[in-house]
Structure 1
Amino acid sequence: MTGLLLGEVFRSAARAVPHRTAAVLGERALTFAGLDAAADRAAWFLAAHGVRRGDRVVCLAGASLGAAALFAGAARAGAVFVPVDAGAGRARVAEVVRAAGAGLLLTDAARAEAGARLARSSAVRHVVLPDVDDAPDGRTAEQPEQPLDQTAEADPCVIVFTGSGRPRGVVLSHRVCVLRTHPGCRPERNDVLVCGFAPGQWSAWAALLRQWQARGTAVLLERPDPVAICAAVRGHGAERLVCAPGTWRGVLDTAPHHLASLRCADVEATGPPAAAPGLLEDIRTATPHARVRAFLTSPETGDVAVLDHADARRRPDSCGLPAPGTEVRVAGGELYVRGPLLCDGYADGKEAAARDGWFRTGWPAAAEADGHLCLQTDSAAYEAAERAVAPSP
């Protein structure tokens, strides 16, 4: 790689393992060489529609190979990719699109009519995502690839909206995205991953990028509910599965016998409460050959803490040890985070961290003498989190 650039992740993988499968969706599959070529076509597609360096493009689409190509192509073109969860509800989606300050809205064909209406009401242009095999505006394979020299590591490449109230747009640079998903932060195997997050969530794109940096295969799901997840793990013989705590509970209640192939079972909680103390034990029972881990993370901070199943047995009150690359402290009963994985601010221009580099999470916590972090969360909060099992249709 020539730098910490998102587009270079795909270029590097295509050079190293061109014929290895990068993504699978239903009966279709895309190799790393194919994904890299599709990213080039997506970059030219955006350029043909007037997108320039720093422009924000909103993607309102389900899981698709075209969306994966757009994710890589937007980075390669110097644009800022803004994923939107289509299951969040019409009013919420419209609010996010307006807050993004984007000039272009891209949808898949299934959402073309809704996208056109939303574009008119939000005063943005609307375009339907092309198929990954389509060349935009007559460009042929003989034309030169989209140049990368217009993009810098500090440039924003993703804005992820979060929060239950007013949408909060978290800005992530190329450097932060690549560092957060580097195999050194979460040691990964280059085998088959099933992603249990909806495509509009940053956790989904982080999981995919993490898998592609490890040069492994990712299985995409149009609607990652427990039934579809169990079927995908069994059908592909997947060795890895990552889900939110509530989704994991639904998977265990649906078909735990389909999880026999797993060698790595990750629980990812985006903010408190962390994984319930008994959940890791239940996952371990269903996947006796897997390494079971729980991650506490957020769009602003990246991974904050990681808890292995063995530690969970010994320390059921803990959410884990500080994650690699992250510095933490507890002051006044609140958890502070600092390090190179912090976001680059917010979409409205506000800074996220204080002048000394510390970000206030707002999470009540305690730090133990052995380094473990403990969130001050009662059992009712754990139960409420686990009731949110599947994404909205």
Structure 2
Amino acid sequence: MTNEPLSASDFDHDFGVIAELIHRTAQHAPQRRALADGSRTLDYAALDALMDRVAAALQRDGLKPGDTIAICAAPSTAYAAVFLGALRAGVVVAPLAPGVLPESFARMMADADARRLFVDAGVASTVGPAEAGGIPRVALDDSTAGQPLEDWLPPAGSRPVPVAPRPDWPFNIIYSSGTTGEPKGIVQGHGMRWAHVRRGRGYAYGPDTVALLSTPLYSNTTLVVFFPALAWGGTVLLMPKFDARRYLEIAQAERVTHTMLVPVQYQRLMSQPDFDRFDLSSYRVKFSTSAPFNAALKADVLARWPGGLVEFYGMTEGGGTCILEAHAWPGKLHTVGRPSEGHDIRVIDEQGRTLPVGEAGEVVGHSPGMMTGYHQRPEQTRAVEWFDETGKRFIRTGDVGRFDEDGFLTLVDRKKDMIISGGFNIYPSDLEAVLREHPAVAEVSVIGVPSAEWGETPVAYAVLREGRGETAAELRDWLNARVGKTQRLADLRLVAELPRSAIGKVLKRELRDLYVGASA
């Protein structure tokens, strides 16, 4: 490993090691701020030393490259340091969502075969009593949730035995959000993460980067900015909990340059009455992913928030990515962009035939950074694979989309969310787009529910804007007067908020269960 300061040429290589790049920055800019979470700050020297101690502790405890630890906690500098330190030892990290049911948590722990569990005081209801599972626990916040982190770590100055990860080594296991069923462990390799770091060259990452992240560290959404920001020698600010006003205050005070936000967060930020009084001129690039981002909201962000806006469309499984640089293509805001360089995205029909431009079908993708597979689930891995006539492997997205003549992909809907009513295909996104045009509607989600007459029929859940008093019947009739007969809503219900995952995806399954349960 060279001791020279980082330069752009370090990111020209086919493979690099993120932990090594952090060490390089620690050598040449030891006092540069690396991480902050509102209560604690680590400069690069402190982060590098803490990573060494974490790696040495794991090796002391008998963990070898390829073994797994789990982390279940709120975002913090300690969380980040343990994640990075484990990588330095070649240990795989399974970051787990604190909000899952205890039964799901136990299944994920068993699936990951985690040797150590790192927690904080806020996850007691998820992880259960300390004696459950028999896996040693370490408390990141030095609480009674486990052995205090400082007590578990070896003395300051401890160094691990050097490990040289390879591109095909597993880096982390990300568990799917559970919006489509039991979470599955998605194994991502060091090579895939390096591809994200290299991509940073095009998005103005560097030593003066200040990235503000308010989504969870167990989500790939967050990690696609977290790792590049640190690998390029920048600063990462962690918000343990998103609050729109606090976000804007931090962004202004810290002169933030990069961020990752999901669409619902953009919506809440742009809805702040005094959004325009905040100085956000330091922003270079704002990213978004994980959920549908409607064109009107993108246009509002472009008009009122300085810096570029980049939308990533893809899967945690890594089956290809489309990128929309919205600031460069204002006429394509209804799309999710074009395939990233080196990524092969296609649209196929039910028979697995590739469809031409303009025809809608399931989106499949191939990329250099695809998952190895679902952890210990070969059958489910095979179920999401598609191979072309040459044997090239693609991942099925479950999304329905079409390409236009310029190569931009427009998503029609989730294949599983498509409603078949009386033999007609109804795409919920079409109805949602019309309902959003009503001035009273802040948020909306359309689902299909069982119908004795039609097989399925569409139903909408809507959230009213503050101060509006329209009734559910008025909104339903307004929509039905503007769509085709086969698309008309059977019902519309008003709710205070839509159920969402931690990264902003509407949990349509919960809405279906709610509707069916209320109608039983």
With the shorter chain as reference, the TM-score category is 0.7 to 0.9
Q: Which residue number corresponds to residue 197 of structure 2? A: 181
Instruction: Pick closer, same or farther for the CA change 1:286–1:363 going to 2, 3 Å.
Output: same
Give the equivalent residue in structure 2 for 1:168. 184
SS in 2 for 1:181: helix
C-alpha distance in 2, partners of 1:156/1:58? 14
**Structure 2 equivalent of residue 360 of structure 1:** 396
1:123 shift after superposition: 4.3
Relative distance call for 1:21 and 1:388 in structure 2 (3 A) is: farther
State how far apart, in whole Å, the 2-side matches of 1:362 and 1:266 are. Answer: 26
1:249 offset after TM fit, Å? 0.7
| Higher RCO structure (Cα 8 Å, ≥6 apart) | 1
Match of 2:316 among 279, 299, 314: 299
The counterpart of 1:197, out of the listed 212, 215, 226, is 215
Paired AA for residue 365 in structure 1: G
| 1:379 CA drift (Å) | 4.3
Partner of 1:343: 371
Q: Which amino acid aligns with 1:177?
A: R
**Deviation by residue 1:248-269 (Cα, 9 ceiling, x = unmatched):** 1112123523352342352422
Shift of 1:157: 1.6
CA contact (8 A) 2:255 2:283 kept: no
Choose which of 102, 115, 120 in structure 2 pairs with 1:103. 115
Following the alignment from structure 2 to structure 1, what is the Cα–Cα distance between the partners of residues 69 and 149?
A: 21
Please, which of 4, 7, 20 is the counterpart of residue 8 of structure 1?
A: 20
Aligned to 1:45: 57
Contact 2:315 2:397 in 1 (8 A): no
Q: 2:248 aligns with which of 207, 230, 238?
A: 230
| Partner SS state of residue 358, structure 1 | strand
Task: Give the alignment of 1:113-262 within 5 angstroms.
Answer: 113-114=124-125, 117=128, 120-129=131-140, 134=150, 136=152, 138-141=154-157, 143-149=158-164, 151-162=165-176, 163-164=178-179, 165-184=181-200, 186-190=202-206, 191-254=209-272, 255-257=274-276, 258=278, 260-262=280-282
Q: In the TM superposition, what is the alpha-carbon distance from 1:25 to its structure 2 partner?
A: 1.5
Q: Figure out how many residues of one structure are paired with residues of the other and give that number.
A: 386
The aligned counterpart of 1:323 is: 340
Q: Which moved more, 1:312-321 or 1:166-175?
A: 312-321
Q: Which deviations, in whole Å up to 9, do the C-alpha atoms of 1:42-66 show, x marking residues without a partner?
A: 1112223332221111101111111
Deviates more, 1:131-140 or 1:337-346: 131-140
Provide Cα deviations, 1:327-376, integer angstroms capped at 9, x if missing partner. 21222211111121211211115246455221121211111221111111
What SS class does the counterpart of residue 152 from structure 1 fall into? Answer: coil
Say which SS state the counterpart of residue 393 (structure 2) adopts: coil
Q: Determine the C-alpha separation between the residues in 2 that align with 1:265 and 1:184.
A: 11
TM-score w.r.t. length of structure 1: 0.87
How large is the Cα RMSD of the aligned pairs?
A: 2.9
Q: Which moved more, 1:165-174 or 1:49-58?
A: 49-58
Identity of aligned residues (%): 22
The answer on 1:67 being equivalent to 2:85 is no
Q: Report the CA distance shift for 1:219/1:204 in structure 2 as closer, same or farther (over 3 A).
A: same
Shift of 1:100: 2.3
Q: Would the alpha carbon gap of residues 380 and 214 (structure 1) be closer, same or farther in structure 2, given more than 3 Å must change?
A: farther
Shift in alpha-carbon separation, 1:147–1:193, aligned structure 2, 3 A: same
Paired residue secondary structure (1:87) = coil
Structure 1 spans left out of the alignment, 5+ residues: none
Q: What is the letter of the counterpart of residue 96 of structure 2?
A: V
TM-score normalised by L of structure 2 = 0.67
1:371 matched to 2:418? The reply is no
Answer yes or no: is the 8 Å Cα contact 1:291–1:309 preserved in 2.
yes
Distance in 1 of aligned mates of 2:150 and 2:285: 36
Q: Is the 8 A contact 1:57 1:81 kept in 2?
A: yes
List 4+ stretches of structure 1 deviating above 6 A.
130-133
1:313, CA displacement in angstroms?
2.9
CA distance in 2, matches of 1:145, 1:55: 16
CA contact (8 A) 1:197 1:204 kept: yes
Greater C-alpha Rg: 2
With over 3 angstroms needed to count, the CA separation of the structure-2 counterparts of 1:49 and 1:105, relative to structure 1, is same
Where 1:159 maps in the other structure, the secondary structure is: strand
SS state at 1:58 partner = strand
Rate the CA distance shift 1:380–1:20 in 2: closer, same or farther, 3 A: farther
CA distance in 2, matches of 1:259, 1:85: 33
Counterpart residue identity of residue 313, structure 2: L
Hey, what's the Cα distance between the residues in 1 that align with 2:313 and 2:395? 15
CA distance 1:242–1:367, shift in 2 (3 Å): same
CA 1:283–1:51 in 2, change beyond 3 Å: closer, same or farther? same
Asked if 2 retains the 8 angstrom alpha-carbon contact of 1:312 and 1:318, the reply is: no
Identify if the C-alpha distance between structure 1 residues 322 and 50 changes in structure 2 by more than 3 Å, giving closer, same or farther. same
